[in-house]
Amino acid sequence: MSARIIMKLTVIDRVEDCAGVLLLSLRHHRKPLLPAWRGGAHVDIHLPDGKVRQYSLCGDPCSRETYQVAIQRETTGRGGSNWIHDQVGAGDTVHVSAPRTNFSLDDGAERHVFIAGGIGVTPLLAMAREARTNGQDFVFHYCARRRADAPLLASLASVCADRLVTHFSDEQRLDIDAMFADLDAAEGTHIYGCGPARLTDAIRRVARVEGWPEERVHFEVFQPALDDDFKPEPFEIIVASTGQRVTVPADQSALSILREQGYSMPSSCELGVCGACICGYTDGQVIHRDSVLSLADRQARMTPCISRARNSVTLDI
């Protein structure tokens, strides 16, 4: 189980934003202010059956009285969104973690370019709110199948005004190549993408071709990267604090083995997309399989829920 603090929050409002998307507003029944957060942060919602699901906060980071999450019903998903849509209403209590941020505005950026697809708008909407509050320059490209099916479109239009550029499949799709051709590639410009894999993969591809440095192109992902050819091998963990050596079999994760050995290891998704279990390492060749850490972070940090090592790794735990 995660060692993170879980809050009991009350649903003070439930709104059907568009077909299949539920907007929940949450407030603490006793405390006037919730933990601070930045645009791009997400929370874990703990369901009664033990499931844990991550949802990005889409409200205003300056407003700490409430949290807002937009939840899309995933009919072919793992069941969490269906349960929330069907069972959670105004007045109900929801168990929610404090916000965690793996995806945020780069503090050194002078201009932000947001590219969202569908429900991927949720973290980027909050980041746009933060950029507007900070008086920073930004543009927001928003893609959806149809205008009527675009989650949070009214809120986004209110925040972005003339800095919003919409791309609907039944009107005119986003031309990634043309968009990059129009971008100012100056050092102070950063790109932030969130949405289906076909969108984020296209952004990565064109950014690479156009020579954008990786540290200026940021992504939030909700699904793990798939690699059908990966063959896990056993490896050894050396615990830096104790010198203990532990073998991780090919069919188990480092996270599960460490827990079996009595180490308290926080986690949430256990798919390499949330960052809850990230820990440091000081020696070894890590096989990074997460979708959270940047290239720079991977030099000293790993996600033991899904990443592995060649032969051995020394963990700073």
pLDDT given for residue 275 in this prediction? 80
Same domain, 251 and 211: no
Residues sharing a CB contact under 8 Å with residue 154, sequence separation 6 or more, in sequence order = none
* Secondary structure of 283-310 in HEC code, one letter for each residue: EEEEECCCCCCCCCHHHCEECCCCCEEE
Q: Give me the domain span that covers residue 160.
A: 111-220
Q: Are strands 6-18 and 67-72 parallel, antiparallel or unpaired?
A: unpaired
Q: For 270, which DSSP code?
A: S
In 3D space, the residue among 75, 54, 69 whose CA is nearest the CA of residue 276 turns out to be 54
Sign of CA dihedral 216, 222, 226, 232: positive
Q: What angle do CA 197, 198, 202 make, to 5 degrees?
A: 110
User: Quick check: is 102 in a domain?
Assistant: no
Q: Closest by alpha carbon to 40, among 123, 153, 139, 122?
A: 123
Question: Is 15 within a domain?
Answer: yes
Strand order in the sheet with 67-72: 52-56, 42-46, 93-97, 6-18, 21-28, 67-72
Measured distance CA(189)–CA(303) in Å, rounded: 29
Say yes or no: 81 and 144 in one domain. Answer: no
The verdict on residue 158 lying in a domain is yes
Q: Is residue 1 part of a domain?
A: no
DSSP 91-126: T-EEEEEPPB-SS---TT-SEEEEEEEGGGHHHHHH
pLDDT at 1: 34
In order along its 317 residues, the chain shows pLDDT tens digits of 334 678 999 999 999 998 899 999 999 999 999 999 999 999 999 888 888 888 999 999 999 999 999 999 987 666 688 999 999 999 999 999 999 888 899 999 999 999 999 999 999 999 999 999 999 999 999 999 999 889 999 999 999 999 999 999 888 889 999 999 888 777 899 999 999 889 999 999 999 999 999 889 999 876 655 566 788 999 999 999 999 999 999 999 999 999 999 998 877 777 887 788 899 999 899 999 887 887 778 899 999 999 999 999 999 99
Burial 294-314 (b: 16+ CB within 10 A, else e): eeebbeebbbbbbbbbeeebb
- Contact between residue 66 and residue 3 where contact means Cβ atoms under 8 Å apart: no
- Hey, what's the torsion of the CAs at 146, 150, 154, 160, to 10 degrees? -100
Domain boundary among 41, 72, 97: 97
Say which CATH number the domain at 252 has: 3.10.20.30
For residue 106, being part of any structural domain is answered with: no
CATH code for position 66: 2.40.30.10
> Can you give the pTM of this predicted structure?
0.79
Cα within 13 Å of Cα(249), Cβ side: 5
Element containing residue 131 per DSSP (H, E): helix 121-133
Let me know if residue 212 belongs to a domain: yes
Judgement on whether residues 60 and 124 belong to the same structural domain of the protein: no
Do 85 and 186 belong together in one domain? no
119 and 35 co-located in one domain:
no
| Whole-number pLDDT of residue 226 | 57
Residue 104 maps to a domain:
no
132 and 198 both lie in a single domain: yes
CATH number assigned to the domain comprising residue 183 = 3.40.50.80
What's the total number of domains in the chain?
3
Check if the beta carbon of residue 72 is closer than 8 Å to that of residue 55: no
* pLDDT for the residue numbered 222: 65
Q: Are residues 204 and 275 in the same domain?
A: no
Of the three residues 197, 220, 243, the one that is the final residue of a domain is 220
Contact 285/311 with Cβ under 8 angstroms? yes
3-state class of 157 per DSSP? helix
In this structure, the answer to whether residues 208 and 286 fall within a common structural domain is no
Q: Which residues contact 133 (CB under 8 A, 6 or more apart)?
A: 60, 61, 62
pLDDT value for 78: 65
Residues 84 and 133 in one domain: no
Same domain, 247 and 202: no
Res 3: pLDDT: 43
Determine, yes or no, domain membership for 152: yes
Judgement on whether residues 248 and 186 belong to the same structural domain of the protein: no
